[in-house]
Amino acid sequence: MRTIVAGNWKMNKDRAEALALVSKLVGWSEELEGDVEVVIAPPFPFLEMAVQCTRGTRIKVAAQNCHAVAQGAYTGEVSVLMLKSLGVTHCIVGHSERRQYFGETDTQVAEKMKTLLFHGLTPIYCCGEVLSERESGKFFHVVEEQLREALGGLSEEELAGCIVAYEPVWAIGTGRTASAEQAQEMHAFIRAYLSERGAPEVPILYGGSCKPDNAASLFACADVNGGLIGGAALDAGQFTELVHIAHRVKQDA
């Protein structure tokens, strides 16, 4: 099974800060052992710089969003073809902040995923329940609906080209993380769906207040194949530490 640590920078950093962070990560990536895949998702204006700086290293560059249509009159949007022409290899889709603040639906997410896959980019598809859904015990149902709507139209081959991230919304940026048991049971549930669809090897990342001090127990779960990291990805030391932890934990497993 592959192990991936991906950093979602969200709407943070100016150009100088972004350059400093990428440069540190590139420097430290040379010392990384093992084969953990490392992905960073800076904001759009810094993608080209990030691709150039990481060329020849193990670090891959993701966008945080894209439009479903390849090109056209969509003021303010960024297309998959633009990302591809920069050398961007991955794209986060369906992040809970996009669902919450920009009204993004699973139908739109499904269209974006189709376009990304058609052009050879890897979607990092985010799913997860909000706090009220966790508390009312509906979380399996909610995630199952999300998976069916967003991934249901993909072929087996397309699905195999995706990464899934389980991000309980109540754990994002809150400092409150899912327990290893809560993460594993949901990851096993997602794995069962993917297996049923013929793509059991799709990596499933955990996201939500994942930090160096809680990552080991999360990454140790059988169906957790790494993490999608927000806050801790803004600090080169913490993010690199998370890559080391993923390598160590998976090597011991």
Is residue 167 part of the annotated active site? The answer reads yes
Q: Does residue 65 bind ligand PGA (CB under 6 A)?
A: no
Q: Of the candidates 139, 207, 215, 245, which one interacts with ligand PGA according to CB under 6 A?
A: 207
Q: Does residue 63 bind ligand PGA (CB under 6 A)?
A: no
Task: Please identify which of the residues 37, 104, 129, 167 carries the catalytic annotation.
Answer: 167
Tell me the residue length of the chain.
253
Interaction with ligand PGA in 87-116: which residues (CB under 6 A)?
none
The per-residue b/e assignment along 168-190, b for 16 or more CB within 10 angstroms, e otherwise, is bbbbbeeeebbebebbbebbebb
Interaction with ligand PGA in 160-179: which residues (CB under 6 A)?
167, 172-173
Q: Does residue 43 bind ligand PGA (CB under 6 A)?
A: no
The C-alpha atoms of residue 6 and residue 37 are separated, in whole angstroms, by 8
Quick one: which segment of 139-147, 150-158, 194-202, 205-213 binds ligand PGA (CB under 6 A)?
205-213
Taking alpha carbons only, the member of 226, 213, 214 closest to residue 253 is 226
Q: Which two tokens stand for residue 75?
A: 């003021």
At its nearest, how many Å lie between ligand PGA and the CB of residue 155? 27
Taking alpha carbons only, the member of 86, 81, 78 closest to residue 55 is 86
Strands 226-229 and 59-63: unpaired
Task: Please identify which of the residues 95, 187, 244, 247 carries the catalytic annotation.
Answer: 95
Cβ count within 10 A of residue 34: 13
Residue 6 backbone phi and psi in degrees, to 5: -120, 140
Q: Of the candidates 170, 231, 240, 250, which one interacts with ligand PGA according to CB under 6 A?
A: 231
Q: Does residue 8 bind ligand PGA (CB under 6 A)?
A: yes
Q: Does residue 210 bind ligand PGA (CB under 6 A)?
A: yes
Is residue 158 part of the annotated active site? The answer reads no
User: Given the rule CB under 6 A, which residues bind ligand PGA?
Assistant: 8, 167, 172-173, 207-210, 228-231
Residues recognised as catalytic: 95, 167
